[in-house]
Amino acid sequence: MAASKPQARAARPFEVDNTLEHIFDFFDDCYDKGWTDGLPVFPPTQRALERMLACTDRARDEVIGVIPPLNGAATVEKIAINAIMAGCRPEYLPVIITAIEAMLQPDYNLYGRQTTTHPGAHLMIVHGPVRQELDVNCGAGVFGHGWRANATLGRALRLILINLGGNKPGVTDMATHGHPGKFTYTMGEDEENSPWPPFHVERGLAREVSAVTMLCAEAPHNINDQKSATPQLYLGSAASAMCHLGANGLYRCGLKSEQMLVIPAESAQWLHENGWSKQDVKQYLFDSARQPVGEMRGRGGWDMSPLPKFVDVNDDNAMVPVVPSANDILIVVAGGFQRHMNFIPTAGYNLSVTRAITRKDGTPVRTLTEITS
């Protein structure tokens, strides 16, 4: 859709005097105006804004993109204001700018993701040295509470979608239920404890480059398997969760489509010891996370989009996968101890986008301090 790029208006930072009562008033005012996710927000004072803008080499009025469906211009300054409101530290700004750039790539289909009835939230996966620099949780409770970076990076994106993209539940965001990841949905990969190449390396980036992957996804679904003695049995448990009859993947696998599985390092190491590469895991899940046409016919999302050519839709015994090819199964290593896994389902008609964090001139960086030094 050809949306005209609106002129960026200069944002007006708030001035809040130094009393707690005014902080409460500020939050009440923001909530009443529909500028929040429902939780209290920090006042984006001029001082806080200048401190955050000092963490990027980009001009404050540079338009990073236009956020659908409202088509508000996401200037560096407006991104920073929302990030401050979300509780981000100033140095998080380049990560958020990179995430917004990723979400605005055509394959991500942000317009559709912002307005659909499907419960998609924007999962940010942080890669490379920036994970340590910002203390992004990649380990125990990776989808839970307790880490400022995980809690506020994703929240900043949500506030940007609300305030620049017009995202409002039941008005423009028609998600039937949504999920709690719509408050924040941020993780890092446990690259140090994984036996396999990191996710961003699969995507063609150098290991030491810091990067962000955005994936619009449902809530994580736990798979608890402490008993399986073989990789086949163990991954079979995951496969059964990935192809339940209400899962979008089965019905959308003829489109550009991905599904993700998060495996803890403990399991990845065990699979590796058993001689399994990451590619072996993907292939096994692709081959075994399937349902027969006869089970799918007439339910779920049947007949709403074409199935892959290799599936004979007239044969009730033909097996339907959850993605078009093995490489469309995304594997990320993260989490704490014990052999739980998490299936991260997607709507099946949008793709993840990985983007290096760079200086303004496009040079990828390892650490965020390289951006302004």
Q: Which residues bind other proteins (CB under 8 A)?
A: 1-4, 69-71, 115, 166, 171-172, 174
Closer Cβ to other proteins, 4 or 226, answer by number: 4
Q: How far apart are the first and last CA of the chain?
A: 39
Closer Cβ to other proteins, 71 or 269, answer by number: 71
Closer Cβ to other proteins, 4 or 317, answer by number: 4
Rounded Cα–Cα distance for residues 199 and 354 (Å): 9
Tracing tokens 């560096």 back to the chain, one arrives at 76
Q: How far is the CB of 174 from other proteins (least distance, A)?
A: 6
Q: How far is the CB of 3 from other proteins (least distance, A)?
A: 7
Burial of 299 (0-12, 13-18, 19+ CB in 10 A): exposed
- Dihedral (CA of 105, 107, 109, 110) sign: negative
Q: How far is the CB of 346 from other proteins (least distance, A)?
A: 21
Cα–Cα nearest to 86, from 138, 163, 15, 10: 163
Q: Residue 290 has which token pair? A: 């399937």
**Amino acid found at 251:** Y
Closer Cβ to other proteins, 48 or 70, answer by number: 70
Rounded Cα–Cα distance for residues 23 and 258 (Å): 43
Q: How far is the CB of 83 from other proteins (least distance, A)?
A: 24
Rounded Cα–Cα distance for residues 345 and 249 (Å): 8
DSSP 359: -
Q: How far is the CB of 311 from other proteins (least distance, A)?
A: 24
Q: How far is the CB of 245 from other proteins (least distance, A)?
A: 15
Closer Cβ to other proteins, 198 or 348, answer by number: 348
Task: State the DSSP H helix or E strand holding residue 223, giving kind and residue range, or none if neither.
Answer: strand 221-224
Closer Cβ to other proteins, 70 or 214, answer by number: 70
Residues in the chain: 373
